[in-house]
Amino acid sequence: METLGRVWNRLSIRRPTIATPEPVEEEDDMTPEKTREVFQMFNGTPTRRKSESAHHHRAILNQMENHQPRNSTQSPKRQPRISESSMDIPGSSLRRNSTETHVFANRAHLHSDINVPACSSEDDRISTIRRNSLFVKRGSVTMEPIKKVDLEEVYTVNKQLGTGRFGYIKLAEHKQSKHRIAIKFFPRPQTKQTDFVREYNYSFFLSPHQNIIDTYEGMFQSSDDTAYFFVQEFCPRASLREAVEATNQAGIGEANTKKVFAAVLSAIEFMHDENLVHRNLKAENILIFDANDYSKVKVTDFGLTRKVDTTVKYLEYVNNYHAAELCDTVVNEKLVVNKSTDIWALGIIFFYCMKGKFPWQKASIMCKPYWEWEQWLKRKNPALPKKFNPFSEKALKLFKKSLTPRFKDRWSAKDMRKCLAKEKLLKSVKKPDEDYYVMIDTSTKSRPSAASTSNGENQEGAAGGAPATGERKQKSTLQQWISTTLTAMAEISEQVVSARDD
Ligand SMILES: Nc1ncnc2c1ncn2[C@@H]1O[C@H](COP(=O)(O)OP(=O)(O)OP(=O)(O)O)[C@@H](O)[C@H]1O
């Protein structure tokens, strides 16, 4: 995956630094210095003068008009995102941080072209230039005003889509464009302006990624001063939490889990490459846009996102996704933000997708299921907790490298992505009865249909016909016993191998 950093280098554009140290969380209200600090999260020296930039944009528009058909060999990963929602929304009222909107912002008559996908690697390059020019531009902005908006004038606000600790999300219709959007509200005076501005900036900054929710440009405040808000694309389906809950603790299956993780890990790898940690990864913050095939999945909620190495205060709140080091922390203890927190949460989400439930309530030795896992991990108990039995060796390795209390041993998002893309995650389950029939039963009509092999032939000839029921039962039990023994042996050898590796 090409990171923004690499793109910046390739294009010889000086990259906006994201290195300004952030204050410890839970500060007082905004002072002018703090306001500057938040905006300096994206600060950098603009390398293009205004006139150069105008010339550059004209060049892009010219190239866009002459684009070639898409090269079929081009990797789908590098395909710029096709906008479904931005095209109809007038740029002045709702501009999203997508690559398309900005380049066309001055060409209202061409808005119908926005949905045309970029068609060549040249277009792909153009798209990244557009995206970067946006960041360079943002680096030069000192303070974007929070505009007062009469909500009822601009939007028809409908039902509540969700609530969180910091605010609530409502479905709304943008009156002018008739577009459905989601508005994220932050009640005042409970919400500090710094927190609102930070969340908006991270959401907006990250939204060009195809697996991150789109945030439209603009920070707003309701005209009655009761809330800050910003606007996002609306997810018409559900969060991953709802999708998993709908399976009645069966999980969404290996194939769908792989699809979800390909998207989520792409987003998290992108964030980690930018030295940002999400810090609030959970099934509720993964949005599924299509009902059936998990082909459009996006990460949302950047309220706790911070740069790596930022010092934050631990809040009194533990959830299923919290890593062991967080569960051991006392309120107001200071912590240093680390990417490994996200990796732990991803390990939990992986288990949750596959099994339809969480491995434990809290990653603390006071919680028995977690204690059992830790005992196995530390080889103090050779018995793998039963709930992990269905997983393949590679999937177990993924758990060992994400749900380990030794946070330095945790994998990177890239390691996780590779493992999930390539490996089988569940042990292949043998059905002893079927094997038994395949082996011995050739002619009996009572044979189940699965008794035939894939090419329609039976494994052994018509030597003896169907055996007596008692004999069948005996052989079936024997086969089950062999299967269980083999599984146990595989687990033991896996433990011996990992002991040797360490
Ligand atoms: N764009 C959207 N479209 C549809 N539903 C959404 C959208 N964004 C969020 N939601 C729903 O609203 C819920 C809460 O949103 P979000 O996580 O952003 O709020 P929060 O206050 O930051 O929550 P948290 O307590 O996790 O920090 C989500 O779990 C999701 O179900």
Average pLDDT over residues 202-228: 94
Binding-site residues sit at 184
Nearest C-alpha to atom 12 of ligand 1 is from which residue? 162
Sequence-ordered list of residues with C-beta below 8 angstroms from that of 329, at least 6 positions apart, any chain: 314, 335
pLDDT value of residue 148: 93
- Tell me how far CA of residue 132 lies from CA of 8, 62, 124, 337, in angstroms: 7, 18, 12, 26
Q: What does the pLDDT average to over 484-501?
A: 67
ipTM, 2 dp: 0.96
Residue 316 has pLDDT above 70, yes or no: no
> Is 280 near ligand 1, meaning CB less than 6 Å away?
yes
Asked whether 254 lines ligand 1 (CB < 6 A), one says no
> Candidates 166, 183, 300, 349: which one to mutate for ligand 1, based on the most atoms within 8 Å of Cβ?
300
Contact between 83 and 101 (Cβ < 8 Å): yes
Per mean pLDDT, which range of 2-16, 57-71, 288-302, 356-370 is the poorest?
57-71
Residues of the chain with pLDDT > 90, as a percent, come to 49
Residue 432 near residue 451, CB atoms below 8 Å: no
pLDDT given at position 431: 58
Q: Is 64 in the pocket of ligand 1 (CB under 6 A)?
A: no
178-214 per-position pLDDT tens digit: 999 999 999 998 999 999 999 999 999 999 999 999 9
Q: Residue 213 CA: which ligand 1 atom is closest? A: 1
**16-20, 75-79, 281-285: which is most confident:** 281-285
The pLDDT of residue 473 is: 61
Residue 87 pLDDT level (bands cut at 50, 70, 90)? very low
* Residue 386 pLDDT greater than 70, yes or no: yes
Closest CA to 198 of 303, 337, 44: 303
Ligand 1 within 6 A of CB of 239: yes
Lowest mean pLDDT: which of 134-148, 260-274, 316-330, 395-409? 134-148
Q: 52 or 189: whose pLDDT is higher?
A: 189
User: What pLDDT was estimated at residue 143?
Assistant: 56
pLDDT of the residue at 7: 36
Q: How high does pLDDT run on average in the chain? A: 71
φ, ψ at 480 (rounded to 5°): -60, -40
Reply yes or no on whether the pLDDT at 271 is more than 60. yes
Mean pLDDT of 348-354: 97
Query: Binning pLDDT at 50, 70 and 90, where does residue 474 land?
Result: low
> What value does the mean pLDDT take over residues 273-282?
96
Q: Output the pLDDT for position 428.
A: 78
Among residues of the chain, what percentage have pLDDT more than 70? 58
Per-residue pLDDT at 430:
63
Whether 392 shows a pLDDT value over 50: the answer reads: yes
110-144 pLDDT per residue, tens: 222 222 222 233 333 333 333 343 443 343 333 57
Q: State the average pLDDT over residues 213-241.
A: 94
Highest mean pLDDT among 38-52, 132-146, 347-361, 452-466: 347-361
For residues 266-290, b (16+ Cβ closer than 10 Å) or e, as one string?
Answer: bbbbbbbbbbbbbbbbbbbbbbbbe
Is residue 45 over pLDDT 60?
A: no
Question: How much distance in Å is there from the Cα of 213 to the middle of ligand 1?
Answer: 11
What pLDDT score was predicted for residue 502? Answer: 53
Domains of the chain: 135-233 (3.30.200.20), 238-420 (1.10.510.10)
Specify the DSSP element, H or E, that contains 233.
strand 227-233
User: How large is the average pLDDT for residues 394-413?
Assistant: 95
Which tokens belong to 15? 């990259």
Any idea which residues carry the catalytic annotation? Answer: 280
What pLDDT does 501 receive? 57
State mean pLDDT over 252-270: 96
Q: Whose CA is nearest to atom 8 of ligand 1?
A: 169
Neighbouring CB atoms inside 10 A of 491's CB total: 18
Q: Specify burial of residue 452 (Cβ count, 10 A radius: 0-12, 13-18, 19+).
A: middle
pLDDT at 411: 96
> Is the per-residue pLDDT at 494 higher than 90?
no
Going from the Cα of 440 to the center of ligand 1, the distance in angstroms, rounded, reads 57
- Closest to 212 in 3D by CA, of 222, 223, 203: 203
Structure tokens that stand for 376 in this block = 């196995």
- CA 329 to CA 314: how far, in whole Å? 7
Burial code (b: 16+ CB inside 10 Å, e: under 16) for 19-28 equals eeebeebeee
Find the 167 Cα to ligand 1 centroid distance in Å: 9
Cα–Cα distance for residue pair 193/37, rounded to 1 Å: 13
**Atom in ligand 1 nearest the alpha carbon of residue 282:** 26
- Known binding-site residues for ATP equal 184
Q: Which residues contact 105 (CB under 8 A, 6 or more apart)?
A: 91, 95
pLDDT tens digits for range 405-429:
999 999 999 999 999 988 899 987 6
From first CA to last CA, the distance across the chain in angstroms is 31
Residue type, 316: E
Q: How far apart are CA 394 and CA 425, in angstroms?
A: 7
Q: What is the pLDDT of residue 74?
A: 29
- The whole-model pTM stands at 0.67
What does the pLDDT read at residue 448? 38
